[in-house]
Amino acid sequence: MNLSSLLAARHAVGKPVRVALIGAGKFGSMFLSQVPHVPGLEVPVIVDLDPERAREACRTVGWDRDRIAATAFTADGAKAIAGNIEVVVEATGNPAVGIKHAREAIRNGKHVVMVNVEADALAGPLLAEEARSAGVVYSLAYGDQPALTAEMVDWARATGFRVVAAGKGTKYLPAYHDVTPDGVWQHYGLTAGEAQSAGMNPQMFNSFLDGTKSAIEMAAIANATGLDVPSDGLLFPPCGVDDLPHVMRPRGHGGVLEKSGVVEVVSSLERDGRGVFRDLRWGVYVVLEAPNDYAADCFRQYGLKTDASGRYAAMYKPYHLIGLELNISILSAALRQEPTGQPQGFRGDVAAVAKRALRAGEMLDGEGGYTVWGKLMPAQTSLAARALPIGLAHHLKLKRDVAHGAVVSWDDVEFDASNDTIKTRRAMEERFGGRR
């Protein structure tokens, strides 16, 4: 609770926290909008495949002419990382690129804030270990749901509560798993023309809709907190905030969970498409179990919503502000040398699953595309099945047919074992594959 005062002290001695932002999309732009209002925080360099687009993003979020003129805009990530900066924010969304930038930052002694949760789900445990060995911070991005959920889990454990479940809300129906970019906008209440005029990427938005992004984020939470992953993937039960203690408890106690201590996503839609009352579509939650009768009595005395037994209660945050909150991670890394969530092991993985019957010779197109969606699996199950991680299911050719709904395996695709991203993933599996 003292980040602002720590930053003020740095500002007073003329030593601002200097940040390199890589990726000036929506998340990056939201972060940039806050920068002029935080004395002591500077972004001297912004990296983007289209530097002019990044410059225009700064104009759009309100940067004045002098601030833009003083900023370097480049497509050269390695040069930016090697410069006079403390923290690298990786916000590209491309897992291969994110891994490359993170390792470059770690080699250069820079802290890493990994907005790129796709990269974290693919190889985060290894990257975090490399950062710890190098004496720098590797952190999940505050403002995004994984870091906010990890914070709530840490709060619950530090105060002595048992964590029964933790996760986020989203808009979900089972049919969404098969939606392709061609049909995504009807589920957002938009026409294709409206989405195009707003610069919205259909494949990116579809990765949220088809369940892939939820799986990736829950893998990140499981790996950061040590919570388990449902054995057969996310359930997405319909559930509003008032019902969290009733629904998100073990089956043996009347809930839907196979056991206590898992990640899960709740849906803002009933299975017939009706909206859930007081849904948590934009928020995060943790369900607690009282460790004793006295604590359970306190739940009731202080107005917590509980299940009928009074033993289970929930805390939640109804919204997350994405890049507007990112400074918390940046300042925590630079001023406290602490992450806002960080992988500690490999518990959750995200496997590519066929959206339709796929034929040999077809090319996979990754998250939110036409061919596969990402399913959350326990890491040990994924490794045993030789499941192809969703983060690698880009531009790989199938060498045999895959049935609709089947998990795509390494044996189903042609791949280059010398590829740097694949080698990093293999190294992560070797290092953490046998660890619970």
Q: Provide the CATH number for the domain around residue 374.
A: 3.90.1210.10
Closest by Cα among 242, 213, 147 to 366:
213
Q: Are residues 70 and 155 in the same domain?
A: no
Residue 86 lies in a domain: yes
The span from the CA of 159 to the CA of 162, in Å, is 9
CB of 47 closer than 8 Å to CB of 53: no
Q: How many CB atoms lie within 10 A of CB 177?
A: 18
Q: Are residues 362 and 262 in the same domain?
A: no
Helices (H), 278-387: 293-301, 327-331, 379-384
Q: Are residues 89 and 154 in the same domain?
A: no
Write out the residue range of the structural domain in which residue 375 sits. Answer: 348-432
pLDDT value of residue 435: 42
Q: Are residues 131 and 273 in the same domain?
A: no
Residue 359 lies in a domain: yes
Q: Are residues 297 and 383 in the same domain?
A: no
pLDDT value of residue 167: 98
CB of 113 closer than 8 Å to CB of 89: yes
Q: Are residues 215 and 260 in the same domain?
A: yes
Residue 179 lies in a domain: no
Angle among Cα 228, 146, 37 to the nearest 5 degrees reads 165
Q: Are residues 122 and 106 in the same domain?
A: yes
Place of tokens 């990382």: 81
Q: Are residues 296 and 331 in the same domain?
A: no
Residue 372 lies in a domain: yes
Per residue of the chain (436 residues), give pLDDT as tens: 799 999 999 999 999 999 999 999 999 999 999 999 999 999 999 999 999 999 999 999 999 999 999 999 999 999 999 999 999 999 999 999 999 999 999 999 999 999 999 999 999 999 999 999 999 999 999 999 999 999 999 999 999 999 999 999 999 999 999 999 999 999 998 898 888 877 788 999 999 999 999 999 999 999 999 999 999 999 999 999 999 999 999 999 999 999 999 999 999 999 999 999 999 999 999 999 999 999 999 999 999 999 999 999 999 999 999 999 999 999 999 999 999 999 999 999 999 999 999 999 999 999 999 999 999 999 999 999 999 999 999 999 999 999 999 999 999 999 999 999 999 999 999 999 864 3
Residue 184 lies in a domain: no
Tokens of 214: 């939820």
Q: Are residues 272 and 352 in the same domain?
A: no
Q: Are residues 219 and 307 in the same domain?
A: yes
Of 312, 336, 360, the position where a domain reaches its end is 336
Q: Are residues 16 and 66 in the same domain?
A: yes
CB of 106 closer than 8 Å to CB of 128: no
Residue 138 lies in a domain: yes
Q: How many CB atoms lie within 10 A of CB 19?
A: 27
CATH code, domain with 92: 3.40.50.720
Helices (H), 211-355: 212-225, 244-247, 293-301, 327-331
Residue 190 lies in a domain: no
**How many domains does one find in the chain?**
3
Residue 260 lies in a domain: yes
Q: Are residues 130 and 155 in the same domain?
A: no
Helix (H) or strand (E) holding 317: strand 312-317
